Structure 1
Amino acid sequence: MGKISAFYTMPHPPIIIPEVGRGEEEKIKETSEACYKVAKEIDSIKPDTIIIVTPHGPLFSDAVALSNGDSIYGDLGKFGASQVKLDLDINVSLTEKIIKYSEKENILTAKLTKDSAQRYGVKYELDHGTIVPLYFINKKYSSYKVVHITYGMLPKMQLYKFGMSIKKAVEDSNTNAVFIASGDLSHKLTDDGPYEYSPYGEKFDKEIISLLKNGDVFEVFNMDHTTIEKAGECGLRSYYIMLGSMNGYNIKGNLLAYEGTFGVGYSVMNFSIKDSNKDTYNQLIEKKTKRFTDKIKNEGVYVRLARESLTHYLIYGEYMDIPSYATDEMKENKRGVFVSLKKEGQLRGCIGTIFPTTENVAKEIIRNAIEAGEHDPRFNPVTEEELEELDFSVDVLTEPKEALKEDLDPKRYGVIVRSGLKSGLLLPDLEGVDTVDQQLDIVLQKAGISSYENYTIEKFEVIRHR
Structure 2
Amino acid sequence: MSGFVFGCLTPHGSQIIEELSTSSPRLMEKTRQSMEELGKRMANEQPETIVVLTPHGLRIDGQFSITDSEHMYGELEDDGAIVRMDRRIDRELARQIAGVAKEREVPVAQVNYATAEGPLSCLQMDWGVLVPLHFMPEVPIVVITPSRTLSFADQIRMGEALAAAVTASGKRVGLIASCDWAHAHDEKGPYGYHQDAATLDAEVVQLLEENRLEAMADFDLDFIENAKPDGIWQTLILAGAMPADTRRVEVLSYEVPTYFGLLCAAVHAS
CA distance in 2, matches of 1:116, 1:60: 20
Q: Decide whether the 8 Å contact of 2:2 with 2:163 is kept in 1.
A: no
Q: Is the aligned partner of 1:200 residue 2:223?
A: no
* One-letter identity of the residue aligned with 1:98: I
Instruction: Give the match for residue 236 of structure 1.
Output: 232
* One-letter identity of the residue aligned with 1:32: R
Q: Is the aligned partner of 1:136 residue 2:132?
A: no
More helix by proportion, 1 or 2? 1
- Larger Cα-atom Rg: 1
Instruction: Give the match for residue 119 of structure 2.
Output: none
Q: Is the aligned partner of 1:67 residue 2:72?
A: no
Q: Decide whether the 8 Å contact of 1:215 with 1:250 is kept in 2.
A: no
Instruction: Give the match for residue 85 of structure 2.
Output: 86
* One-letter identity of the residue aligned with 2:39: A
- How far does the alpha carbon of each residue in 1:381-433 deviate from its partner, in whole angstroms, 9 at most, with x for none? xxxxxxxxxxxxxxxxxxxxxxxxxxxxxxxxxxxxxxxxxxxxxxxxxxxxx
- Percent identity, aligned pairs only, is 25
* 2:260 alignment partner, SS class: coil
Per the TM alignment, residue 225 of structure 1 is displaced from its structure 2 partner at its CA by 2.1
Unaligned segments of structure 2, at least 5 residues: 117-121
Q: Is the aligned partner of 1:152 residue 2:151?
A: no
Alignment RMSD, CA only? 2.1
Per the TM alignment, residue 85 of structure 1 is displaced from its structure 2 partner at its CA by 1.1
Instruction: Give the match for residue 264 of structure 1.
Output: 260
Q: Is the aligned partner of 1:184 residue 2:183?
A: no
CA distance in 2, matches of 1:20, 1:194: 20
* 2:28 alignment partner, SS class: helix
- How far does the alpha carbon of each residue in 1:43-82 deviate from its partner, in whole angstroms, 9 at most, with x for none? 1111101110001111122111111112111111487543
- If the length of structure 2 is used for normalisation, what is the TM-score? 0.91
Unaligned segments of structure 1, at least 5 residues: 118-122, 275-466
Per the TM alignment, residue 16 of structure 1 is displaced from its structure 2 partner at its CA by 1.9
Number of aligned residues: 264
Instruction: Give the match for residue 111 of structure 1.
Output: 110
- How far does the alpha carbon of each residue in 1:72-105 deviate from its partner, in whole angstroms, 9 at most, with x for none? 11111487543x1111111111100110111112
* 2:135 alignment partner, SS class: helix
CA distance in 1, matches of 2:140, 2:79: 25
CA distance in 2, matches of 1:243, 1:2: 10
After the TM superposition, which residues 376-387 of structure 1 pair with which residues of structure 2 at under 5 Å, given as runs? none
* 84-93 or 107-116: bigger deviation: 107-116
CA distance in 1, matches of 2:202, 2:110: 35
- If the length of structure 1 is used for normalisation, what is the TM-score? 0.54
* One-letter identity of the residue aligned with 1:259: E
- How far does the alpha carbon of each residue in 1:243-283 deviate from its partner, in whole angstroms, 9 at most, with x for none? 01013625442111111010210000012443xxxxxxxxx
CA distance in 2, matches of 1:263, 1:248: 31
| Alignment CA distance shift 1:214-1:251 (3 Å) | farther
CA distance in 2, matches of 1:35, 1:80: 22
